[in-house]
């Protein structure tokens, strides 16, 4: 999600979905494990509406998460876990996760 800098009216979304390529032109698709799929399905079907295009993980108000929103949430989680001295954010978690998946043969 990126900020919509070309808004022509107040009715347009503040953020829009942007799909692009990676720096090395390789896809960043990963397979979810059974537990992750199960949890996401439980979240999806526990809602009143389960439209195919509906986002599964949203803010408390049902809005789309943005990168800055997720980074803020990560800082709060790290603070609550008393891990303020740990460096990194969402990007380092993605890289570490991808590395561990690769090492496990995924």
Total structural domains within the chain: 1
53: tokens are 């295009």
Residue 41 lies in a domain: yes
Residue 96 lies in a domain: no
Give Cβ neighbours of residue 7 (< 8 Å, ≥ 6 apart).
14
Flag whether the pTM goes above 0.75. no
- Domain of residue 55 covers 31-59
3-state secondary structure of 3: strand
106 residues of the chain, pLDDT tens digit each: 667 778 888 777 777 766 666 666 566 677 788 998 898 888 777 766 655 556 667 787 777 777 788 888 888 888 898 887 777 777 777 778 778 888 888 7
Residue 94 lies in a domain: no
């Amino acid at each position: 999600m990126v900020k919509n800098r070309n808004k022509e009216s107040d009715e347009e979304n503040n953020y829009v979905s942007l799909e692009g390529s990676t720096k090395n032109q390789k896809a960043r698709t990963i397979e979810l494990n059974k537990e992750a799929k199960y949890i996401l399905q439980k979240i999806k079907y526990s809602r009143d509406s389960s439209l195919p295009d509906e986002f599964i993980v949203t803010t408390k108000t049902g809005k789309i998460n943005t990168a800055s929103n997720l980074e803020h949430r990560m800082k709060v989680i790290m603070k609550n876990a008393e891990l303020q001295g740990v460096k990194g954010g969402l990007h380092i978690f993605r890289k570490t996760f991808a590395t561990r998946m690769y090492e496990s043969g995924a």
